[in-house]
Amino acid sequence: MTDRIPVMVLSGYLGAGKTTLLNRILSGDRGRRYAVIVNEFGELGIDGGLVVSAEDELFELSNGCVCCTVRGDLVRTVRELLAKRGIFDCIVIETTGVASPGPVVQTFFIDQVLQAKTILDSVTTVVDARHIDLRLADSPAATEQIVFADQIVLNKTELVTGEKLQAIQARLKQLNPLAPIHLAQRADVDLDKLLGRRTFDFRHIQSAEPEFAEGHGHDCITSVSLTSRRPLDASRLTGWLNDLVAGNGRDILRGKGIFDLRDEERRLVFQSVHMLVEADFQRRWRPQEPRYSKLVFIGRNLDKQALQSGLAACESG
Q: Where are the domains of the chain?
A: 5-200, 206-312
Confidence of residue 186 (pLDDT cuts 50, 70, 90): very high
Q: Give the DSSP H or E segment for 210.
A: none
Confidence of residue 311 (pLDDT cuts 50, 70, 90): very high
Amino acid present at 199: T
Q: Give me the pLDDT at residue 212, please.
A: 47
Of 2-6, 70-74, 221-225, 313-317, minimum mean pLDDT range: 70-74
Q: Please state at what angle helix 162-175 crosses helix 140-147, rounded to 10 degrees.
A: 80
pLDDT at residue 19 greater than cutoff 70: yes
3-state DSSP of 88-153: CCEEEEECCCCCCCHHHHHHHHHCHHHHHHEEEEEEEEEEECCCHHHHHHHCHHHHHHHHCCCEEE
Q: Give me the pLDDT at residue 309, please.
A: 95
Fold of 206-312: Hypothetical Protein Yjia; Chain: A;domain 2 (3.30.1220)
For the entire predicted model, the pTM comes to 0.76
- Provide CB contacts within 8 A for 312, sequence distance 6+: 228
The CATH code belonging to domain 5-200 is 3.40.50.300
Confidence of residue 214 (pLDDT cuts 50, 70, 90): low
Query: What span, in angstroms and rounded, lies between the C-alpha atoms of 243 and 198?
Result: 29
Among candidates 302, 273, 299, which has minimal Cα distance to 101?
Answer: 273
State the distance between the two ends of the chain, measured CA to CA, in whole angstroms. 37
Q: Give me the pLDDT at residue 111, please.
A: 83
Point out which residues pair with 123 in neighbouring strands.
9
Q: What is the pLDDT of residues 146-165, one digit of tens each?
A: 988 989 999 999 999 989 99
- Cβ contact 228:250 at 8 Å: no
Q: Which residues of 85-104 are buried (b: 16+ CB within 10 A; e: fewer)?
A: eeebebbbbbbbbbbbbbbb
What angle (nearest 5°) sits at the alpha carbon of residue 135, between those of residues 131 and 138? 140
Name the phi and psi angles at 181, rounded to 5: -115, 125
Query: What span, in angstroms and rounded, lies between the C-alpha atoms of 136 and 130?
Result: 12
Mean pLDDT computed over 164-191: 92
Chain centre distance of CA 93: 13
Name the phi and psi angles at 165, rounded to 5: -60, -40
Q: Give me the pLDDT at residue 30, please.
A: 64
Q: What is the pLDDT of residues 54-105, one digit of tens each?
A: 344 555 554 444 444 446 778 888 888 888 767 778 888 888 787 788 888 8
Measured CA to CA in angstroms, residue 203 lies from 126, 199, 267, 303 at distances of: 25, 9, 11, 28
Amino acid present at 134: L
Q: In what order do the strands lie in the sheet with 151-155?
A: 57-61, 34-39, 90-94, 5-12, 118-128, 151-155, 181-183
Q: Give me the pLDDT at residue 110, please.
A: 81
